[in-house]
Chains A and B, each alone.
Chain A
Amino acid sequence: MAIWLHVNIRSGVPIYVQLVEQIQHALEVGTLSPGDSLPSVRELASELSIAPNTIVKAYNELQRMGLIESRAGKGTTVLGEAQQALRERQQDALLERLRGVVHDASQLGVSAEVLRTHFESAVGEFFPETQWQGDKQ
């Protein structure tokens, strides 16, 4: 299972960050599911030819994010709540992006009025139940 993980020592991205991002991505797309076990530090160090401490650091970070857990004798597994934890992170990131869009719009001279109208119409499109009676065609 370690095969889909790979690191690029020259990319300028810390190696442990590369591992965290790839495992996170694997959870998002379903390559990894709750209950799946991750390779041991030793296996992964050997497979990727990178220092074991770097893998420990990546696993610690994933554990801190609430995505995996390591137990003595049981190895490292994906937590049941991983997808929920990931979803919450994605939602936070998205709301942050929304702020960014509003900021950019204000800089580009889009009026609050226009922005609200577009926002409402987009909400109406994806949340049909919130539409007012009078809007329905």
Chain B
Amino acid sequence: MNDYVAEMQQRSTGPSMSSSDIAIAIDHLTVSYGTSQVLNNLSLEVPTGSIFGFLGANGAGKTTTIKILLGFRRPTSGSARVLGYDVVSHHQEICQRVGYVSETNSLYDFLNIPQLCRLSRDLYRQWKQERVDHYIRLFALPLQKPIKQFSKGMKAQLALCLALGNDPDLLILDEPTTELDPVARQMFLSTLVKDVAAEGKTIFFSSHILSEVEAIADRVAVLHQGRIVLSEELDTLRDRQKMLCLIYEEQPPAEEITVLGRLPGVRALEREGRAVRLRVEGNTDTLIETIQARPYTLRDLQVVAVRLDELLLEYMKGENA
């Protein structure tokens, strides 16, 4: 009953007290283009202060989700709130408080940086030019060139500089580093962590680059064909699965392999001669005891970490759904 009351309060317009620790709340969101459903009953919460990696293959619906959050598109059904504001009724307010860096960076490309800054200053209530200048110097962007002469990477950097100009509480980035070379990407990401997240701001970024999500995010959600198939703390994922590497004295018979594959907690099995690799979820100790009690002698047994990028890739392919 109380949950219902809280939910009704959430639905009233304007920011509510209870939403202050949730930067983004998506509730049963469905979006259709014509007859094709792009987002299917999607629910997601992004806690305030988190660095949230939003993963999915191309066409999974990442950009559509972001467009909904910024009020560029209307939900077919369901709702979403950003910083406590409803995305449909309060999209103006959201635009003032959220920084947005898009995949395509549709900047006014006939302007140069000082001209673009003057324009932005008029558009935002709390424009901080010193801050923008600081980042423009950091990325060493040229001041006099018109933006159409910028490389794609420079445009992404400029978009970040401008997005930070109105001191946003939430930064939404749509595949921001796709066009950056490794050096620029590293600088871009460390700016996000050191200057934005460290100040308690929330970062929500879509990506298909697993290594960068692994490096900076504390939470991750995976979108697969318009549905959320995973939403979890990365530290929880790091601990969830382990790889058991078994080396037998002699090659175990096929029946034994079948038995191993059916043991509780075993999610996947690979074998190669005398070596068997088990992907294991949950407590490994009991499983190891069980395996050691089997009649086939082990020469070696090791527990190794499962690579996070491999695990995330499986979710992106929909294999763990």
**A and B interact:** yes
A positions within 8 Å CB-CB of B? 9-17, 41-43, 45-46, 49-54, 56-57
Q: Can you name the residue of chain A whose Cβ is closest to the Cβ of B305?
A: A12
From A12, A42, A49, A50, contact of B238 by CB (8 A)? A12
- Give me 17 other A-B pairs in contact (C-beta within 8 A), A12-B306, A51-B50 excluded: A9-B214, A11-B305, A12-B242, A13-B305, A14-B236, A15-B234, A15-B238, A16-B235, A41-B198, A45-B193, A45-B197, A49-B190, A50-B216, A51-B193, A53-B49, A53-B51, A57-B235
Can you give 22 A-B contacts (C-beta < 8 A)?
A: A9-B214, A9-B308, A10-B214, A10-B308, A13-B305, A14-B235, A14-B239, A15-B235, A15-B238, A16-B235, A45-B197, A45-B198, A49-B189, A49-B190, A49-B194, A49-B215, A51-B193, A51-B218, A52-B200, A53-B50, A53-B51, A53-B218
Q: Chain B residues near A51 (CB, 8 Å)?
A: 50-51, 193, 197, 216-218
Within 8 A of A (CB), among B155-203: 189-190, 193-194, 197-200
Which residues on the B side are within 8 Å of A54 (C-beta)? Answer: 218, 235
Chain B residues contacting A42 (CB-CB under 8 Å) are 198-200
Chain B nearest Cβ from A136, distance in angstroms: 44
Give the size category of B's interface with A: 20 to 34
Residue in A11, A15, A49, A51 with the greatest tally of chain B CB atoms within 10 Å: A51
Q: Which residues of B contact A13 (CB under 8 A)?
A: 238-239, 305
Which residues of B have CB within 8 Å of A50? 193, 216, 218
Q: Nearest chain A CB to B277's CB is how many angstroms away?
A: 15
The B interface, classified by DSSP as helix, strand, loop or mixed, is: helix
Question: Are B51 and A46 in contact, with the CB atoms below 8 A?
Answer: no
Once the chains are docked, how many angstroms separate the CA of A25 from the CA of B4?
47
Taking a contact as CB atoms under 8 Å apart, the answer to whether A53 and B238 are in contact is: no
- Judge whether B271 is part of the interface by a CB distance below 8 angstroms: no
* B139 to A: closest C-beta gap in Å: 17
CA–CA, A56 and B190, complex, Å: 19
- Which chain A residue has the least Cβ–Cβ distance from B216? A51
Bound: A15/B193 CA distance, A: 15
From residue B312, how far is it (CB to closest CB) to chain A in Å?
A: 13
Query: In the complex, which residue of chain B has the Cβ closest to the Cβ of A15?
Result: B235
- CA of A56 to CA of B200, assembled, Å: 11
In the assembled complex, B119 has its CB within 8 A of some CB on chain A: no
B47 interface contact, C-beta 8 A: yes
Enumerate chain B residues within 8 angstroms of A15, measured Cβ to Cβ.
234-235, 238
Of B189, B238, B304, chain A has the most CB atoms within 10 Å of the CB of B238
